[in-house]
Chains A and B, each alone.
Chain A
Amino acid sequence: MKTPLLELTNITKKYPGVIANEDISLTVNKGEIVALLGENGAGKSTLVKAVFGLVRPDSGEIRINGHLIAPGDTAGAIAHGVGMVHQHFQLVPVMSVTDNIILGDEPTRGLFINKRAARAEVLALSEKYGLQVDPDAIVENLPVGMQQRIEILKALRKDVDLLILDEPTAVLTPQEIDELLNVIRNLAKSGVGVLFISHKLREVIAVADRIVVLRNGKAVGITTPKESDEESLAHLMVGRDVVLQVEKGEAKAKEVVLSIRNLHVNDDRKLTAVTGFDLDVHAGEILGIAGVEGNGQRELVEAICGMRPRIKGSVLVSGVETPDMHPRRVHAMGISHIPEDREKHGLVASYSIEDNLVLNQFDQPPFAKGWIRNAYALESNANTLVKEFDIRTPSIKTTAGALSGGNKQKVVVARELSQKTKVVVAAQPTRGVDVGSIEFIHNQLVAARDNGAAVLLVSAELDEVLSLSDRIAVMFGGKIVAFLDGKDADRAKIGRLMAGLSE
């Protein structure tokens, strides 16, 4: 029997409070595309990081081409022909494309890096795989799609036998995804084994030879695209039937509550990110903004919520202009904000749930009487919200940092939606959140809409936008390129719009 390219036997990895991988065995053969499917937190990244030596498993064996790989031996894995494209790009932003690609195995002349040879190598590589890059560009100036290419080239540089791709499609447009899947197929044809991670059923069915489904750290099923369909895979993945569609009634859109007029916003590098925007959101509707990340969505949200200077233009709530650069006063005017980065903006990790639930109203009655905080009001508020929003925690005194991603997000959602609010701005509200919590958060957003709030949803997950929105705006290059009706929005059409193509 021929030895498989990759052979994992009984891999187990425990983190405090979670078993990320439990007794997982898996093989990948030459020329085979194996998909690792599982929802957020299922343990997919942990498993492949173990292969690549970025995580030390507690027990189990990793063999590549028959060679046993020591735990934590990244250099060994690379030497045995493993290349990996990471879920979070592992690129040095301030360095050039060439420097990023050669890092770790630099062509040298004497003691020095041979810059000319390096550059030539990058060009040859880019030629070979048909992935165009500019070797001299600085990575941080490149769009995410391009950065993804660099990641792939980096992984392919050393004639890999096994290529691991950890959720490579998360930041791509549907068209770019198709291109990537083609690259993967061609690689497999040339004999490379591919381990492809995704939580998107469609892609997995499209590209895999074999599908391994992970749930709560366990391998719960191995199947092939022929033997399965989206329904059955979803069932395996989540462990129960999932409602892929959010149940919601007809929207009863009323008057305009949030209006944005001629808004111009810059990004962190002071380049224009939002260019002359007009947008109206009505009470009682969910307006979803679709778009590939990095097309100005983040800047738009932050400018609306008073966290980023508005270069020009205005944001009005019920016709009243909101202040620039003052998140608290904006909030007080009725704009609730579920921030994109909950760890950075949404929570203080070392504070208790109780304190996090009043983070932007700690000095308002009943939580404070004048200068003194009211411990009793804090507690009863926390007890109510923990129940109402199904926050799973041992105690309201537990620090937010100790919660799982989904429960952290529920803390933020609870805080923002429990306050009287006219507008809800939800940025990537379910990123890194488990399916149970996703459903819950979706229902809460719909409930907020039904209670008469104007909901602005920004998400990089096209499925999320499609299933929640009453109206959809597609954003590209800092502009809204189209408005569509939520009911009959067409996936392919939105995909083209997201890529900047006109219809």
Chain B
Amino acid sequence: MKYVRSWLLPVIALAIAFAIGALMMKLQGANPLKAYESLFSSAFGSSAGISKTLGKATPLIISGLAVTICLRAGLFNIGVQGQLLAGALASAWAGYAIHGLPLFIHLPIALFFGTFFGALTGIIAGALKAYRGVHEVITTIMLNSLVLQLGEYLAYGPFKEPGQQLARTPEVLSSAKIPDLFGMPVGFFIAITLAVIAWWIFKKTTSGFRLETVGRNKNAAWYAGISVKRSILISMFIGGGLAGLGGAIETLGVVGRYEPAFNAGLGFDGITIALLGRANPLAVIPGAILFGGMRGAGGSMQFAAGVSPDIIDLILALVLFFVTAPLIGKWIKTVRGNEAITTGGWGN
């Protein structure tokens, strides 16, 4: 029963959000049924569509995980976007600038670059929190903007593709590109594996227990001999690393280079997905597939019904609103377990 209800909530939230979205389209004089039909058939209606959806879902799963892990440890990592960009940037550089390596060495190196620089971006916020008591929400947001600017600078300047008008890096070498496996994006399987590992760590291991204890009661954790500082550093490092890996997978598997305009919003969708999944690593997967499908197929609505794909932003925001606000939750009497608590004043 409890199990059914925990599924019911997001489903009802989705239904309401789509209904409001339809209303908005009507207001604009478009045909919502036609728009939704094209949205779903192009996202899930064909194997090419599904493959695209899963490809889009991949970085979303990973960035959703990056937020989830931090939430479990009591941190609200709004900086996934910046960490992801750092990862994309670093992996793009490693992908085009390092020459003469075979795939099985070059690709891991490029992935590592992305992960590492993502983690680095994350741990800056972690260190500021652990050692200076600066709330991670503000620092990670500031870091988002910083990385974005840095990326722009590099793409316009030192990393720019020679002879190009656009601000973008050269394309990564084929030895650093993630190959497809039976027509399915390999990155997707990496992402699923990561989600399962994360779930297992929190379920079974002492490390997961440590992080989670800090997330639920810092004082009790300290009493029990768990270092709160270390836990903050570790979770921000892992969260940032995951986000960076997500950026790298997107860069090396889909985009093929760093372009400032790409990847926008991936991190923010990750936040929404993590909150939708109530900080459960496995619940990130369906959320990310749904988001991926809508993001990937949003453009089709323009074709079919003249609806701007920006409606997706609105619908997703509404989904988040209806899931997190206890509005429907009260109505269907969901047990609100596993709630993420992240507010503790700016000094903590």
Asked if chains A and B are in direct contact (CB within 8 A), the reply is: yes
Q: A345-B219, A348-B217, A349-B217 are in contact. Are A371 and B206 (CB under 8 A)?
A: yes
- From A326, A331, A373, give the contact of B209 (CB < 8 A): A373
Instruction: Please tell me if the beta carbons of A327 and B225 are within 8 angstroms of each other in the complex.
Output: yes
Instruction: Please tell me if the beta carbons of B220 and A362 are within 8 angstroms of each other in the complex.
Output: no
Q: A345-B219, A348-B217, A362-B209 are in contact. Are A373 and B204 (CB under 8 A)?
A: yes
Q: Hey, which chain B residues are within 8 Å of A347, CB to CB?
A: 217, 220
Q: In chain A, residues 332-386, which have Cβ atoms closer than 8 Å to a Cβ of chain B?
A: 337, 339, 344-351, 355, 359-360, 362-363, 368, 371-373
Q: Chain A: interface residue count, which band?
A: 20 to 34
Instruction: Please tell me if the beta carbons of B206 and A331 are within 8 angstroms of each other in the complex.
Output: no
Instruction: Please tell me if the beta carbons of A359 and B216 are within 8 angstroms of each other in the complex.
Output: no
Cβ-based interface call for A307 (8 A): yes
Instruction: Please tell me if the beta carbons of A329 and B225 are within 8 angstroms of each other in the complex.
Output: yes
Instruction: Please tell me if the beta carbons of A346 and B223 are within 8 angstroms of each other in the complex.
Output: yes
Closest to A342 in B: B220
Q: A328-B225, A329-B225, A360-B224 are in contact. Are A368 and B206 (CB under 8 A)?
A: yes
Q: Hey, which chain B residues are within 8 Å of A344, CB to CB?
A: 217, 219-220
Q: Hey, which chain B residues are within 8 Å of A359, CB to CB?
A: 213, 220, 223-224
**A331 → chain B, closest Cβ, in Å?**
7
Instruction: Please tell me if the beta carbons of B222 and A327 are within 8 angstroms of each other in the complex.
Output: yes
Q: Hey, which chain A residues are within 8 Å of B221, CB to CB?
A: 348
Cβ-based interface call for B205 (8 A): yes
Instruction: Please tell me if the beta carbons of B223 and A348 are within 8 angstroms of each other in the complex.
Output: no
Instruction: Please tell me if the beta carbons of A348 and B213 are within 8 angstroms of each other in the complex.
Output: yes
Instruction: Please tell me if the beta carbons of B223 and A327 are within 8 angstroms of each other in the complex.
Output: yes
Q: A307-B222, A307-B223, A329-B225 are in contact. Are A350 and B216 (CB under 8 A)?
A: yes
Q: In chain A, residues 131-148, which have Cβ atoms closer than 8 Å to a Cβ of chain B?
A: none
Closest to B201 in A: A371
Instruction: Please tell me if the beta carbons of B207 and A371 are within 8 angstroms of each other in the complex.
Output: yes
Q: Hey, which chain B residues are within 8 Å of A307, CB to CB?
A: 222-223
Instruction: Please tell me if the beta carbons of A373 and B205 are within 8 angstroms of each other in the complex.
Output: yes
- From A345, A351, A372, give the contact of B205 (CB < 8 A): A372
Q: Hey, which chain B residues are within 8 Å of A371, CB to CB?
A: 205-207
**B343 → chain A, closest Cβ, in Å?**
16
Task: Give complex CA distance A484, B253 in Å.
Answer: 77
Instruction: Please tell me if the beta carbons of B216 and A328 are within 8 angstroms of each other in the complex.
Output: no
Q: Hey, which chain A residues are within 8 Å of B225, CB to CB?
A: 326-329, 331, 360
Task: Give complex CA distance A412, B334 in Å.
Answer: 30
**B206 → chain A, closest Cβ, in Å?**
4
Q: Hey, which chain B residues are within 8 Å of A329, CB to CB?
A: 225
Instruction: Please tell me if the beta carbons of A373 and B206 are within 8 angstroms of each other in the complex.
Output: yes
- From A339, A349, A351, A362, give the contact of B206 (CB < 8 A): A362
- From A345, A351, A368, give the contact of B216 (CB < 8 A): A351
Contact with A along B60-89 (1 / 0, CB 8 A): 000000000000000000000000000000
Q: In chain B, residues 194-235, which have Cβ atoms closer than 8 Å to a Cβ of chain A?
A: 204-207, 209-210, 213, 216-217, 219-226
Instruction: Please tell me if the beta carbons of A327 and B216 are within 8 angstroms of each other in the complex.
Output: no
**B32 → chain A, closest Cβ, in Å?**
41
Q: Hey, which chain A residues are within 8 Å of B219, CB to CB?
A: 344-345
Instruction: Please tell me if the beta carbons of A328 and B224 are within 8 angstroms of each other in the complex.
Output: yes
Task: Give complex CA distance A300, B147 in Å.
Answer: 48
**B253 → chain A, closest Cβ, in Å?**
31
Q: Which of B206, B207, B225 has the most A CB atoms < 10 Å from its CB? A: B225
Task: Give complex CA distance A362, B225 in Å.
Answer: 10
Q: Hey, which chain B residues are within 8 Å of A363, CB to CB?
A: 206, 209-210
Q: Hey, which chain B residues are within 8 Å of A362, CB to CB?
A: 206, 209, 224
- From B204, B209, B210, B223, give the contact of A345 (CB < 8 A): B223
Q: Hey, which chain B residues are within 8 Å of A360, CB to CB?
A: 223-225
Closest to B220 in A: A348
Instruction: Please tell me if the beta carbons of B220 and A345 are within 8 angstroms of each other in the complex.
Output: yes
Beyond A327-B223, A346-B223, A348-B216: 5 further Cβ-contacts under 8 Å? A347-B217, A348-B221, A349-B216, A351-B216, A360-B223
Q: What are the 5 A-B residue pairs with the smallest beta carbon separation, nearest first?
A: A328-B225, A360-B224, A345-B223, A363-B206, A348-B217
10 residue pairs of the A-B complex, CB under 8 angstroms, read A307-B222, A307-B223, A329-B225, A339-B223, A344-B220, A345-B219, A347-B217, A349-B217, A359-B224, A368-B206
